[in-house]
Amino acid sequence: MSRTLYACVHAAEFPVQALLRMHPEFSSVSVAALEGIPPQQIVCSINRAARLVGAQVGMTKLEAEEFPHLRLIQRSIESEESARAVFLECAANFSPRIENVSSYTFTVEPSADASSATICACVLDIGGTERLFGPPEALARRLRASLRAAGFHVSIAVSANFHTARLKAAATQGIVVIPPGEEAAALSRLPLAALHLDENDAETFAIWGIRTLAELAALPEVDLVARMGERILCFHALASGALPHAFQPIEPKFTLHEFCDFETPVEQADSLLFVSTRMIDCLVARAAARALSLASLSLSMALEGGRVHERVIRPALPTSDRKFLLKLLQLDIAAHPPPAAVVSLTMTALAGHSSTVQLGLFSPQTPEPSRLDVTIARLKAIAGEDRVGSPVLEDTHRPGAYRVEGFAIVGSESVAYNTVRPRMALRRMRPPVPVRVVMREFKPAVFRDRERAFQVEAAYGPWRTSGCWWSEASWDTEEWDVLAVAGGESRACLLVRDVSRDQWLLEALYD
């Protein structure tokens, strides 16, 4: 049986980290996140560069503007939710049992609302993972490197006690591994403020001269309960590193979703593609971590004025090629640019399994699906969205009705076709040829096109069809199968009369 062991991952100043994750060019710039309604905005989170220039959390926007090199960005809850999902996905690669502790309140119990928290933290149950990742130190290093690659700066604490790991990770930087039995010593130097006591309890301990967790743990339990009540026992056990905890694992839903809120509206396509590159990289990396590819890419652009511009990109096959997806996105934006400046961009992807085909030694090499997608996208930009694709018959009685759908590579079972050659084939004429028809005894007798006249030896019909009388796409036609002769040559033809327009058309020839 493996011993109980927990690893707490703590990301401080999470609002700024979520914003800088999509803007790595600001990583070396002092940045502060603002929250609130203008003009009553305050600084809720800052990065390390901002702290070095003297910025502090809780400053007003007016006070923060006095720092010449401090960049002020409005806090984005949607960006934080997207970043929190990525944060938990990275942690789930090292342990399936995860508990979210981002919203722990003063009473040590989790709160229902985590949107106001400025940290992102979770605790992993890593008991029994030594055979997969090695000792706890090695697991912590690999976990921190994985989160750093995703754009997060975290601190990690490993302990056999759940709350000890949580408190130590919040109060330290880097990686700390606490040996079993040394939980109290590891927490001894932490200030009493780490417990988030209420004002009355904090004032009482201040009067007694209690400043650290070691001093609180040294107090006798009986006298402490007699003076402050039984509720203080949990804080005493917490300071001693002995507070038990019932682990409550979560099951985060895997969704490929990225959000970016722009500081100023984006009007240039190049600037939009620059941000999209980072978002596509993140989506591909997240899908690749689960041995998946991207089957489709949906973009939702919030525009100035409240409108939304949406586009969907579907490659022929699921792919993990970042450059290929970016090229499809570039061609799609060029063909369908947003009608106004973009305020925010949401990118959602559907995951799929990429197929691999093993070719024979003497089989001809087929073109790559990515080249087909790029060629189709360029043709659509030139000819139009609805003029490139595969013809599909419509579910209607209208003769020759079809629509054009996008190309898709789908698996299908082999069909055994009849080897007997057909006796007759119908060759449609696109477009139909207008003709002039002479009727005798209510049957076509002679018809003429632009070049010559045809004598009708036999006529069969009419076959009348009509439909869609309630719309502009209505039709009312009469079809005649005729045997026409001109210059000693006979041909079987299909003549169609458009009753609504009183127009005759040479629709097809029989071969």
If one looks up domain 257-352 in CATH, what number appears?
Answer: 3.30.1490.100
Question: Residue ranges per domain, the chain?
Answer: 6-240, 257-352, 426-510
Q: Rounded distance, CA 228 to CA 342, Å?
A: 57
- Number of other CB atoms surrounding residue 79 within 10 Å: 21
3-class secondary-structure state, position 325: helix
Alpha carbon 239 to chain centroid distance? 42
One-letter amino acid of 159: S
Q: What is the pLDDT along the chain (511 residues), one digit of tens a residue?
A: 347 899 999 999 999 999 888 887 787 889 999 998 888 899 999 999 999 999 999 999 999 999 988 999 999 999 999 999 999 999 999 999 999 987 655 344 443 344 457 899 999 999 989 889 999 999 999 999 999 999 999 999 999 999 999 999 999 999 999 999 999 999 999 999 988 888 898 999 999 999 999 999 999 989 888 888 888 899 999 999 999 998 999 887 888 999 998 888 998 888 899 889 999 999 999 999 888 999 999 999 999 989 999 999 988 788 888 999 999 999 899 888 999 999 999 999 999 887 666 666 776 666 666 777 788 888 887 887 778 888 888 888 887 788 888 766 555 444 455 556 666 788 888 889 999 999 998 999 999 988 889 999 999 989 998 988 888 778 899 999 999 998 888 889 999 999 988 899 999 998 8
Cα–Cα dist 455/122, whole Å: 88
Q: Is the peptide bond before 462 cis (omega within 30 degrees of 0)?
A: yes
Q: Which residue has the tokens 């689960």?
A: 290
- DSSP E strand boundaries for 223-334: 256-266, 293-303, 308-313
Backbone angles phi, psi at 300, to 5 degrees: -125, 110
Tell me if 476 sits within 8 A of 399, measured CB to CB. no
**pTM of the predicted model as reported, rounded to 2 decimal places:** 0.73
CA proximity to 248, closest of 81, 86, 123? 123
- Nearest CA to 508 out of 446, 447, 400, 432 is that of 432
DSSP β-ladder status, 342-352 and 475-486: unpaired
Right CATH number for 6-240 from 3.30.70.270, 1.20.120.50, 3.20.190.10, 3.30.70.360? 3.30.70.270
